[in-house]
Amino acid sequence: MSSRVRVRFAPSPTGPLHIGGVRTALYNYLFAKQQGGDFVLRIEDTDQTRYVANAEQYIIDSLNWCGIPFDEGPGKKGNYGPYRQSERKHLYREYTYWLVDNNKAYYAFDTSEELDVHRKDHEAKGKTFIYNWHNREKGRLVNSLVLSKEEVQHRISSGEKYVIRFKNPEGQTVVLNDIVRGRIEVDSNVLDDKILFKSDGMPTYHLANVVDDHLMEISHVIRGEEWLPSLALHNLLYEAFGWKKPEFAHLPLLLKPIGKGKLSKRDGDKLGFPVFPLAYKNEKDGEISRGYREDGYFPDAFINMLALLGWNPGTEKEIYSLDELTKDFDLARVNKSGAKFNPDKTKWFQQQYMQHTPNENVANKFNAILLEKGIEKPIDFIETIVGLVKERAVFVDDLWNLSSYFFVAPESYDPKASKKQWKEGTSELMNELIQKIEQIENFSSENVESEIKAWITSKEIGFGKVMQPLRLSLVGALQGPHLFDIIHFIGKEETISRLHSAIEKLG
Ligand code: GLU
């Protein structure tokens, strides 16, 4: 086996990818890139009952959107394919039979009804039924360890259903090493003889996963904590095959915002945040789940947030580009305890990225929204507007609410402000202002400001009397950046037209 670092992300295509899964993919990606290794995507689709057709594409799209594409996997060239387990069935069969032939696994013919009887029997005595060394050869269980060779052959050839179980060693201390959790010892006597091959001719996760990790020369298995209980079996399988084990790192769970229990879609629905990277339509019931992409998050903000959910860089630094993450990420600094998901902090990351993304890039995104609304403006104009209002924006969508008046006349006027600012005499004053504006030739922000201010002074009235109704006419509310910047950007004709509309509607 080569010493090259090769890691894999091995999701089962059972639905949309949870953000916990995205984090697993991210840590794999970061580690691979840091070590100059390969990041493999393997689709673990051996459980036909849970298979969802659009899930694989969803997973691929999610990784691409996050900016963490795989090097090898379905649809990409690689020397270790195929990368879908359903296309590797023949291999699993071959390796399972090798285990049987070498007395490391055995046929078991017990029906599920029979196993139920054993389970209930044990429960009645306050015990738990485990299929293993303790009872597998006592005669009550029906398997190839107690039946004669002929009997086993006869049962198989007459079409009787069977499974193949792993023959766990008796009385052995299994020593596990995990990069995150350190050394763990497990007594092999408490393990059950897990099924490796099912009666439907498909391997179970355990067998397929270990065979593939070996054949694909995976050097490091980085996966969720929920697989830690399987680690002893996986280690024993490597030993049974006589294969070199990869290194393992089990990542902490993503917890609910309150800190207890695994983060679920229900938490997101209840508290108003997505738990999936992309929106997802469930083909069965048509239900649409929200996604970070559609909610307006930038992928690099999303990735930055996820990277810090479980990894502690050991400094105060929080904003990391993907390159910086690749450089600084350290598997040994991944926390053992679960990481509490914090929706407010997630938004904070997006806000930081919005503020630090160059106006030019934000303008390109904003332009797409404007074009959808049928508004076509030069990109440098949009960029300037972005610069004026971005400070208060978290998402690109916010920019429209903050700056729509630069592009279109207000459709309505804030009623409270209208009542307060549009008084007796305001319409007349605004008509006079229109005449004044008509005479202004140089429409730079500074010149309009000085001319209008001089005009107000000459009339000996308070500034507010003019400025507030003027702002209301142009913006529809008493908000927005410097008023004379707005006037400059929308131009003379539009300023006058909006004043006329306001006089008509509010006067
Ligand atoms: N197919 C497993 C899953 O869906 C993969 C676990 C592993 O990485 O070993 O999570």
- Summarize pLDDT for 106-160 with one digit per residue, the tens: 999 999 999 999 999 999 999 999 999 999 999 899 999 999 999 999 999 999 9
End-to-end CA distance of the chain: 84
For the chain, give the mean pLDDT: 96
In ligand 1, which atom is closest to the CA atom of 209?
9
Judged against a pLDDT cut of 70, whether residue 350 lies above it is answered with: yes
- Whether 290 lines ligand 1, by a CB cut-off of 6 Å, is no
Residue 18 Cβ inside 6 Å of ligand 1? The answer reads no
How many angstroms separate the CA atoms of 452 and 442, rounded?
Answer: 12
Residues of the chain with CATH 1.10.10.350: 415-506
Separation of CA 178 and ligand 1 centre (Å) = 16
CA of 255 to the centre of ligand 1 (A): 19
Q: For the domain bounded by 1-73+252-341+348-353, which CATH number is listed? A: 3.40.50.620
Closest CA to 456 of 328, 464, 335: 464
Nearby residues of 452 by Cβ (< 8 Å), 6 or more positions away: 433, 436, 437, 466, 484
Check if 45 has its Cβ closer than 6 Å to any atom of ligand 1.
no
Whether 44 is in the pocket of ligand 1, judged by its Cβ within 6 Å, is yes
Does the Cβ of 10 fall within 6 Å of ligand 1? yes
Nearest-atom number in ligand 1 for the CA of 230 is 9
pLDDT one-digit tens code per residue, 214-250: 999 999 999 999 999 999 999 999 999 999 999 999 9
Residue 2 — pLDDT band, cuts 50, 70, 90?
low
- CB of 228 closer than 6 angstroms to any ligand 1 atom: no
Query: CATH number of the domain at 357-406, out of 1.20.1740, 1.10.8, 3.40.50, 3.30.2420?
Result: 1.10.8
**Rounded distance between C-alpha atoms, residue 66 and residue 278, angstroms:** 10
According to the model, what pLDDT value does residue 48 have?
83
Ligand 1 center–CA 263 separation, angstroms: 18
Query: What is residue 409's predicted lDDT score, i.e. its pLDDT?
Result: 97
Q: At residue 341, does pLDDT exceed 60?
A: yes
Is-contact 289 274, C-beta < 8 A? yes
Taking the model in full, what pTM does it have?
0.91
* 359's tokens: 């106006």
CA of 8, closest atom in ligand 1: 8
Q: What is the rounded CA–CA span in Å between residue 461 and residue 278? A: 56
Asked if pLDDT for residue 507 goes beyond 90, the answer is no
pLDDT for res 49: 87
Atom of ligand 1 at shortest range from CA of 14 = 4
Q: Is the CB of 21 under 6 A from ligand 1?
A: no
Q: Where in the chain is the domain with CATH 3.40.50.620?
A: 1-73+252-341+348-353
Separation of 338 CA from ligand 1 center, angstroms? 18
Nearest to 262 by CA among 180, 361, 174, 338: 338
How many angstroms does the Cα of residue 330 sit away from the middle of ligand 1? 21
pLDDT at 215: 98
Take residue 494 and report the two structure tokens written for it: 């539009």
Residue 3 alpha carbon to ligand 1 centre in Å:
23
Active site members = 265
Average pLDDT of the segment spanning 11-23: 96
> Under DSSP, is residue 424 helix (H, G, I), strand (E, B) or coil?
coil
In this structure, the residue with its CA closest to atom 10 of ligand 1 is 11
**90-198 has which fold?**
Glutamyl-tRNA Synthetase; domain 3 (3.90.800)
Residue 92 backbone class (left: φ over 0; alpha: ψ -120 to 50; beta: rest): alpha
Interval 264-321: pLDDT, tens = 999 999 999 999 999 999 988 999 999 999 999 999 999 999 999 999 999 999 999 9
Q: Closest Cα to atom 5, ligand 1: which residue?
A: 10
Residue 483 binned pLDDT confidence (cut-offs 50, 70, 90)? very high
Query: Which residues sit opposite 304 in a β-bridge?
Result: none
Q: Decide which of 53 and 393 is more confident.
A: 393
Nearest Cα to 62, choosing from 103, 111, 24, 110? 24
By the 10 Å C-beta count (0-12 exposed, 13-18 middle, 19+ buried), 208 is classed as buried
Q: What is the whole-number distance in angstroms between the Cα of residue 10 and the centre of ligand 1?
A: 5
CA separation for the pair 416, 431 (Å, rounded): 22
209 lines ligand 1 (CB under 6 A): yes
Dig out the tokens for 417 from the structure.
Answer: 């402000």
Candidates 429, 425, 482; CA nearest to 456 is 429
Query: How would DSSP label each residue in 272-331?
Result: T--SSSS-EE-TTT--EE--TTTTT--HHHHHHHHHTTTB--SSS-----HHHHHHH--G
418 lines ligand 1 (CB under 6 A): no
Nearest to 135 by CA among 145, 120, 149: 145
Span 458-463, average pLDDT: 94
Number of helices (H), then strands (E), in the chain: 19, 13
User: 415-506 belongs to which CATH class?
Assistant: mainly alpha
Characterise 18 by phi-psi region: left (phi > 0), alpha (psi -120 to 50), beta (else).
beta
Decide: helix, strand or coil at residue 40: strand
